[in-house]
Structure 1
């Protein structure tokens, strides 16, 4: 005699169930994707969706089990579904309680490069009026340590921040002393081309556990075209600096980021191969942003979201080929979105946060003491728009800066959970609010969603990832490995 009754004995014979909140989006003529409030998803045929909403789905149906386990439906007395949904919601939003983690210090606008898509209105090397002073840094650090977040990340940006390395030393050592007293978990990053990284600088980075974030746009000819400097040797300087940095600071202490210029669009395989050649474990296929010289040189207008999506899809397909051939390699933009799709956590990437990450996840202290809601806000200021200026380290208190109407209104008005055309979008749980981008492009923080390049990119990427997971089980396993490494 069996110790257990068959599965049918445990099913609800009444066939009654209650719908929990969900959205759906057609993927083709036959299938739709359903998403719930925490980003869990499932695929259904249109016929099954019709049965679901009319309460005709039978408990014996395999889709019924999937829908119940992923919190799309619940049965009478099934309180666990609501409790689990609430728990997952709290988990997704848990990072908000700690408030600002990333603090960007723009220590100099001076730079030795003249990149055609530069977003920060760089200045020539001899203009030391564009360097942050110690007094400005002191005031900024006072605001940094007012953050309730136990983990403080300070990232030094420019221009080329190594041109003001003495100030970096000063900030690092002062922050270390205070962080030790307060028990803070400190992390430091320098965003640099590596062209000016001497052994002395690199040894200091090693001794103080400073990470280095650099730029590599592709093979030598493409990199030199995108990132011009006197001597036309930016690629050679990057390669030499990368090797020295890995030897001195540590192999995993150096990362690289690319930007898709018009010249990059037909060369995504070459770009990926260059990253593989130099031993990187992944790449972020990053699009241009509408700020600074990217607008003045018309680089941003040179391609639209659809053309970038072609570039991205070709690159992702090639990266999947490499993984299937036995070479682990990650596309980081995809992995950020996949983490939101396939796990209960949120990676906290500022551009994909909701509420928007501006101010509440990252804040910028400019070289002149001005405080901005995000790096993009600071770039917008360099174009003459002060909408997202939050205050000044000499003039305003922590409370005044972080309760500034420029910040609070932007966060509230761009919140995708209540924004028109976002609140009923199936991809909303995986998306983010981008108030600065939409303000820059359309003059308001919400933007016009049917015309939004941000929305087109996000929907294009998300649909492509869903399509891959529907038809390619091996690729889905690769995606799971990517998100579990994050």
Structure 2
């Protein structure tokens, strides 16, 4: 018994140490403001405050600041950098606190306008059989899988109730152009409704270009419709990723691309890449294809874990580390083209860089907090069901209706946007309130994704240490900070933000 008591005494106590343990020599007479920090490499760490301002400092600087070992006289330049960027304050309540408040409101101002993007899944029909397709496409003759005109009308009514004065109507599929007559009906009706409701409306059609005909072009031009297509790289990559019976998907896409550029203008045409296992082998070739086709932007996008993309693991499943390796290799190629005088930016990095280098919000759905779903985007499926995001619609194609918000013609605006389901999602869509995000230095540059959490981890809240979303974003953001140590690269990054080379 005595030995047991001695043994317990020798165990380390979990009680607080005596107060003398915490008495440190204080050099700086200042107050700490909220900030977070993260190691960038073996030499540097970044400190980020509540509005995304940052300072890059030698390793150990955060500890010195926290322990108040920064002196106004001995560290004058750093001291006043920390003061001016709201990391420390000489008063318990900073004199310019109202400035910080205004900047925080600006960062979150995307919430003021509410939903802008309204996606209409106009048809599930498609003549491609892409192995990574994220929706359950059907063959061309299945007109029962087209959106009815009643659902088109009801969707437009909902869109016109948005408090946002600038709305986008995006047509997706399947292959949207296979339902071109319904697109024409929807565009004309929406244009008329926008005039009546004093809204500015933008139209986008997502298409693989295969059904495009010369007869369609005058209508597309009349309504200034933007075209978004898919380009996965050179022919030997694109044709394998995006299969057609004729084995000519690449040729059809390029022909349609050039035709649309000529008739609609280059500014109205964009392309999107999806990275498969095959793509991982051709990072330079994919970037070079975009340059050869005179694109000024490329989006290095991984496969999403939804729909048919989950059925072919050999072609579509890879570790996040493999994608990040591909991303960095391709990114270096993009930078190399910029160094040689050809302006081309990587879209995902550009969104993050805008959040890092400017005081303004961005409209990209996946990097918002609160999340862009519902707040920025809503999806009307061909069958009238309404989803919180495009990924939520893809999840529904796997018979998981967790993120269904309502039904066109049955659910009111308030039911859809403020109903029980919206409130449930809202509990997990703010990264400031999520464990693992709340104390992350990159919080202000990242977002929240309840749909991805649900799809990959089984619940909307998610678990950050095992999150592919977290793993990808943290490394890309760290990588961008590391690259910005090179002032020549920072200059390139700033040109991406402004949209033109210097």
Which residue pairs with 2:32 in the alignment? 19
1:44 to 2:57 alignment: yes
1:84 to 2:99 alignment: yes
Structure 1 contact 108–367 (Cα < 8 Å) conserved: yes
CA distance in 2, matches of 1:29, 1:225: 41
Structure 1 contact 189–213 (Cα < 8 Å) conserved: yes
CA distance in 2, matches of 1:444, 1:38: 29
Query: 1:22: how far off?
Result: 0.4
Which residue pairs with 1:129 in the alignment? 144
1:456 to 2:456 alignment: no
Which residue pairs with 1:222 in the alignment? 237
Structure 1 contact 288–300 (Cα < 8 Å) conserved: no
Structure 1 contact 261–299 (Cα < 8 Å) conserved: no
1:148 to 2:163 alignment: yes
1:483 to 2:497 alignment: yes
Q: SS of the residue aligned with 1:371?
A: strand
Residues 303-345 of structure 1, C-alpha deviations (whole Å, 9 max, x = no match): 1111000000011111111111111110111001111111111
Query: 1:188: how far off?
Result: 0.4
What is the correspondence of 1:28-427 to structure 2 with a 5 Å cutoff?
A: 28-60=41-73, 61=75, 62-76=77-91, 79-298=94-313, 302-427=317-442
TM-score of the two chains, using structure 2 as the length reference:
0.92
Query: 1:70: how far off?
Result: 1.5
RMSD: 1.5
Question: Judging changes above 3 Å, is the alpha-carbon distance between structure 1 residues 377 and 55 closer, same or farther for their aligned structure 2 residues?
Answer: same
Q: SS of the residue aligned with 2:484?
A: helix
Runs of 4+ in 1 over 3 A off after TM superposition: 77-81
Which residue pairs with 1:431 in the alignment? 446
Q: SS of the residue aligned with 1:200?
A: helix
CA distance in 1, matches of 2:321, 2:426: 28
Give structure 1 stretches of 5+ with no counterpart. 1-13
CA distance in 1, matches of 2:430, 2:164: 22
CA distance in 2, matches of 1:202, 1:86: 48
Structure 1 contact 411–435 (Cα < 8 Å) conserved: no
Q: SS of the residue aligned with 2:313?
A: coil
Residues 35-62 of structure 1, C-alpha deviations (whole Å, 9 max, x = no match): 1111111122234322211222122422
CA distance in 2, matches of 1:56, 1:290: 48
Give structure 2 stretches of 5+ with no counterpart. 1-26
Structure 1 contact 131–367 (Cα < 8 Å) conserved: yes
CA distance in 2, matches of 1:233, 1:29: 49
Residues 329-382 of structure 1, C-alpha deviations (whole Å, 9 max, x = no match): 101110011111111112110011111111111000000100000000000000
Please say which structure displays the higher CA radius of gyration. Answer: 2
Q: SS of the residue aligned with 2:300?
A: coil
TM-score of the two chains, using structure 1 as the length reference:
0.95
CA distance in 2, matches of 1:398, 1:367: 18
CA distance in 1, matches of 2:315, 2:100: 41
CA distance in 2, matches of 1:299, 1:19: 51
Query: 1:413: how far off?
Result: 2.1
Structure 2 contact 379–386 (Cα < 8 Å) conserved: yes
Q: SS of the residue aligned with 2:431?
A: coil
CA distance in 2, matches of 1:231, 1:20: 63
Query: 1:447: how far off?
Result: 1.1
CA distance in 1, matches of 2:287, 2:218: 30
Residues 287-307 of structure 1, C-alpha deviations (whole Å, 9 max, x = no match): 000001110112576311110
Structure 1 contact 290–300 (Cα < 8 Å) conserved: no
Residues 392-444 of structure 1, C-alpha deviations (whole Å, 9 max, x = no match): 01211111111122222222223211111110011111111000001001111
Q: SS of the residue aligned with 1:148?
A: coil
CA distance in 1, matches of 2:236, 2:452: 31
Structure 1 contact 111–125 (Cα < 8 Å) conserved: yes
